Each structure stands twice: as C-alpha cells, then as structure tokens.
C-alpha cells in the first residue's frame, strides 16, 4: 500500500454542494477536514466520496467531540479508498505523524512506513 491521494479539482460552481456532502460525511466520524482541502480561492481538492471503503479514526486515541459532530481522533485520520487500498493520511500535527504511522503499521503490516514530504505540512492544525 502507498500513501497516495487521488485528488480532483472542481469548478467553482460545484463547491457549495460538494462542501455540504463533505460535512455530512464528516459527521459519520471519518474525521474533521479529512475529505477536502481548499487550494486557492476558487478550487478544492478532495478524496472521491464514492470510493471510500474504510476509515480508521477509531484505531487511535480519541479525544472529545460532540454527538452532532462526531468524535475525532487525537493523532489523525487515515482513509482507505478504491479497490487497491490506497491510503490518505491526515496527521493532526507534524510531530504526531510518526506515531500515527506506527499505529497503522501495527495493524497493516505490509504498509509502507515512509510518509511523503507532501503530507508533512497537510495537518489539521492549519485549519
């Protein structure tokens, strides 16, 4: 398995509907800001909703949340999607990325443990 993100850019007129869908999925405890990331003023990149096959938020220590928003993992979110098991890693903080990888590695032994440089700055702290 590899940490690879399948990203799709949407025209600006589709952003509002897509944001609402992302909000609904977040409430199903997949994780805050895990499914979409803004890129500039008029575009958004996100993981294809129809291809998500599993989320791993509860594999990690959980911190407080509320019933309306779901609970969020303290160290990050991993989403598996597509038939080939590609994963997207969203660490909460850069310093927690290695802990997150170690936790995943203990559950998925064949997982590549190197985190790509591109994800080092893609943390939820930014939001």
Evaluate whether residue 47 is within a structural domain.
yes
CA distance 116 to 106: 19
pLDDT digits (tens, 9 = 90+) for 87-124: 555 555 556 666 666 665 665 555 544 444 444 444 44
Residues of the domain holding 72: 8-126
Evaluate whether residue 102 is within a structural domain.
yes
Evaluate whether residue 45 is within a structural domain.
yes
Evaluate whether residue 36 is within a structural domain.
yes
Evaluate whether residue 3 is within a structural domain.
no
Looking at the structure of the chain, the number of domains it has is 1
Evaluate whether residue 2 is within a structural domain.
no
List, for the chain, all residue ranges whose pLDDT scores fall below the cut of 70: 1-127
Longest dimension (CA), the chain: 42
Evaluate whether residue 48 is within a structural domain.
yes
Query: Is 0.85 surpassed by the pTM of this model?
Result: no
């Amino acid at each position: 398995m590899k940490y690879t993100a399948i990203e799709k850019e949407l025209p600006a007129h589709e952003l509002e509907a897509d944001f609402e869908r992302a909000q609904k999925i977040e409430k199903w405890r997949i994780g805050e800001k895990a499914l979409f990331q803004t890129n500039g003023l008029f575009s958004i990149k996100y993981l294809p909703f129809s291809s998500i096959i599993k989320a791993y938020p509860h594999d990690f220590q959980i911190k407080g949340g509320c019933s309306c928003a779901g609970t969020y993992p303290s160290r990050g979110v991993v989403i598996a999607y597509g038939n080939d098991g590609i994963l997207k890693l969203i660490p909460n903080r850069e310093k927690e990325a290695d802990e997150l990888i170690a936790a995943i590695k203990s559950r998925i032994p064949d997982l590549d443990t190197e985190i790509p440089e591109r994800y080092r700055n893609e943390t939820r702290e930014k939001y």
